[in-house]
Structure 1
Amino acid sequence: MNFPNILTTLRFGLVPLFIVTFFSDSPNNVLHSAYIFIFAGFTDVLDGYIARKYNAITKWGQAMDPLADKAMQLTVLLCFTIRGIIPMWAITIIGIKELLMIGGAAFLYIQKDKIVVPSNSYGKLATILFYVAILAIVFGFSYGRELMMMVIIITAYAFVRYLMEALKQMKANKEKINLN
């Protein structure tokens, strides 16, 4: 396992740490969980940078990196929704999209050729805006909820683009099989 994949694995471990910290009785628990969230985002950027710079991109990393991101994002949304910080409709929309993405990615990955559809720039933009929106909400900035609306719109568009790319790759894979 290479270093970028180790960072991705670490991000999976940050999910339960976020939950325990968020729901703890300690003072500033939301702020401390936000720091965990920021650290997860940092490791996401770092593993992608290292993987590209040192040609350490793996199929496992391409499949698990977005899954680790989705796990953290859904966890944050769920925790914030349980506490009433974010409205239920936000997690419903983003949650359905993320679960479809996870299921679709798993389905494509178990295919014979392990099809992996890499994230698109809209998905990356939505992720960055998600981090900004969550931090704006944590730190009490008035525009946090508006940013969350932007996240939902861009997330939906990224999903449509991802779906189109997945269908394109499945078609190409089917044509490749038919040629053999």
Structure 2
Amino acid sequence: MNVPNALTIFRILLVPVYLFVFFSSYPQRIEIAYIILIIAGLSDIIDGYIARNYKMVTEFGKMMDPFADKLMMLAVITSFFLTERISLGAALFFFARDVGMIVASAIFHFRGKKTVPANVFGKVTTVLFYMVFTLIMFQYPYAEMCLWIVIAFSFVTSAVYAVKLRLINKAS
């Protein structure tokens, strides 16, 4: 096991920790949950950097890294919905996109098809989600409106991935 894969597993393990803290009765639970979320985001950046720059990219990492990211994001959206920080509609659109991406990626992977590596649109989308998660977590005004904008952008990003996915698998 290399460092990037260990960081990916670490991020997966942070998901139940985030949920436990977020739903606890501890007075500073939101601040601590936010710190956990930021640690997850930073570990994603670090593991990607190490994997690419030190040629430690593995098949496990290609599959599990995006899964770890989606799992954390789905946990965060679920926590926001259950605490009425966001509407059902926003949660459902978010879930539809992310679960769809997980399922499509798994289908392509297990059928031996090529998958599309992360590109600048995907990275920007992730950064935007983390920014809007900050607004929602601390209940800033217009936070959900910002979430809807990022969700719309994420669907555009998904469309770009779908086109690239089709093209690379058509060429091979």
- TM-score class, shorter: over 0.9
Q: Name the structure 1 match of 2:69.
A: 69
Measured on the aligned residues, the alpha-carbon RMSD in Å equals 1.4
Aligned match of 1:29: 29
TM-score, reference length from structure 1: 0.90
Greater CA deviation, 52-61 or 15-24?
52-61
Q: How big is the shift at 1:18?
A: 0.7
Distance in 2 (CA, whole Å) between partners of 1:93 and 1:46 is: 29
* Ranges in structure 2 where 5+ consecutive residues have no aligned partner: none
Counterparts of 1:47-86 in structure 2, within 5 Å, are 47-86=47-86
- For residues 70 and 40 of structure 2, the distance between their equivalents in structure 1, rounded to whole angstroms, comes to 11
Paired amino acid for 1:138: M
- Using the size of structure 2 for normalisation, the TM-score is 0.94
2:115 is the counterpart of 1:116: yes
Identity of aligned residues (%): 35
Q: Which residue of 1 aligns with 2:12?
A: 12
Residue number in structure 1 paired with 2:125: 126
How far does the alpha carbon of each residue in 1:79-111 deviate from its partner, in whole angstroms, 9 at most, with x for none?
110110111111111110111100110011112
Q: Is the 8 A contact 1:63 1:116 kept in 2?
A: no
Q: Secondary structure at the match of 1:78?
A: helix
Native 8 Å contact 2:80 2:137 kept in 1 = no
What is the total number of aligned residue pairs between the two structures?
172
Q: Which moved more, 1:132-141 or 1:26-35?
A: 132-141
User: Contact 1:14–1:36 (CA<8 Å) still a contact in 2?
Assistant: yes
Counterpart CA distance in 1 for 2:117 and 2:167 is 13
SS of equivalent to 1:10: helix
The aligned counterpart of 2:38 is: 38
What amino acid is the match of 1:61?
Answer: G
